[in-house]
Amino acid sequence: AELFDQFLEENHPQPDVFHLLKTSFSSLEEEKREFEMIARVFEIKLLKELGLLPRFTDCVGCGSELERKVYFSSRQGGVFCDRCYRKQKSGFLISQGCLQAIRFISSSQDFSRAVHVRLGQQIRKELEQVTKQFIKVRLDHEIKSLRFIDQVKQLLNKVSIR
């Protein structure tokens, strides 16, 4: 909800964005175990709906098709090929799995299907890193609710260890 407040202007109704928020809350209510993926799917879909989703289709430096090595840059708003990354030195390496997951989530019409896409822990971590980094740069500050989610994750990890 905090992202909703930060990215939207008052008195400018956005029914599709409202529907996305409502779907996210319903999903949270039904599937508490998947709260991290629900958050990632919400973030990616919100950014896409608002026209803010970084470019994941081609290199933001030269426009070429993406190769095996892909680097995400929050500041540049997308991914670099290896050649452009060496020139820019901006961003961090992301896996092909993460790139494919972002593309799938952003294009999927079915929120629940996007939440339940089978992803390994490493790709989930990369997704979190990409979305958090981009949102932080875009807003020029960290979102409090993201810190709260981190605290809940730590608590759940402690509980599951015992």
Per-residue tens of pLDDT for the chain, all 162 residues: 455 555 556 666 677 877 777 888 888 778 777 888 988 998 899 889 888 899 999 999 999 999 889 999 999 999 999 999 999 888 899 999 999 999 999 999 999 999 999 999 999 999 999 998 888 887 765 555 555 555 555 555 565 544
- For 65-126, strand residue ranges (E) read 70-73, 78-81, 92-94
pLDDT for 18-40, tens place per residue? 777 788 888 877 877 788 898 89
Write b or e for each residue in 35-53: b if 16 or more Cβ atoms lie within 10 A of its Cβ, otherwise e. Answer: bbbbbbbbbbbbbbbeeeb
Q: Tell me, what's the pLDDT at 49?
A: 87
**CB contact at 8 A, 143 and 6:** yes
pLDDT for 44-57, tens place per residue? 998 898 888 999 99
Q: Could you tell me which residues come within 8 angstroms of residue 70 by beta carbon, excluding any fewer than 6 positions away?
A: 79, 80, 81, 93, 94, 96, 99
